[in-house]
Amino acid sequence: NNNNNNNSQRQHVCGACGVARTAGTQHCKVCQRCVRGMDHHCPFTRGCIGESNHLHFFLFLVYATAGLGFAAWLSFAPFAQCWLTLPRPVPAPAACVYLEMFSLTFLAVLMLLVPVAFLAGCHTALLLADLSTADCLRHLRRHGTLQPLWQGLRQRRGLQPGSRLRRLVWAPSVPILALLWPQRHASAMKRRD
């Protein structure tokens, strides 16, 4: 019986970096360190997205998508007026002469908006399916299918207690929400526990 207790309390040691690893910790081959709750190594932030910064990464994607969407909406009118009205009247409208190169801002914004919105959508789906990017890609490489993602979405695993969505996004957000809506703070804290 004492032997069973020792086995359950024993921590695994990472073969690559020699650090004691707890459950849910994975070794990043790029950073050469172990990360708790690792989702993926992000080339844009040049670091690992894990338990400590997953909320910040997700909010970055959401806010970047919203901001780029707003910039696309603002820059579409000059683009449409100056470049989509063909044949172009000669002489060009005064606004087009003044905004000629700036009216192309819409194309640059659109080139950023599409991939950022795609990443935000993918990470939202992964959170709702209660999967990490690493788990999803590992399954895709081994089996050539995204079956766990579709199953997780169908079963709404991300909305269940203990899921990545609740642990990494909802729980850290509760104090922020309490500042915005103090009357709902008590009920949110009860649900959090």
Catalytic residue set: 42
Query: CA-to-CA distance for 140 and 159, rounded, in angstroms?
Result: 23
Query: CA-to-CA distance for 157 and 153, rounded, in angstroms?
Result: 7
Neighbours of 162 (CB within 10 A): 9
Q: Dihedral, CA atoms, 155, 24, 140, 49, nearest 10 degrees?
A: 100
The one-letter code for the residue type at 11 is Q
Contacts of 16 (CB under 8 A, 6+ apart): 27, 29, 32
Contacts of 13 (CB under 8 A, 6+ apart): 19, 20, 21
**Residue closest to 61 by CA, chosen among 141, 169, 154:** 169
69 and 118 Cβ atoms separated by less than 8 Å: no
Q: How many CA atoms lie within 13 A of 165 on its CB side?
A: 17
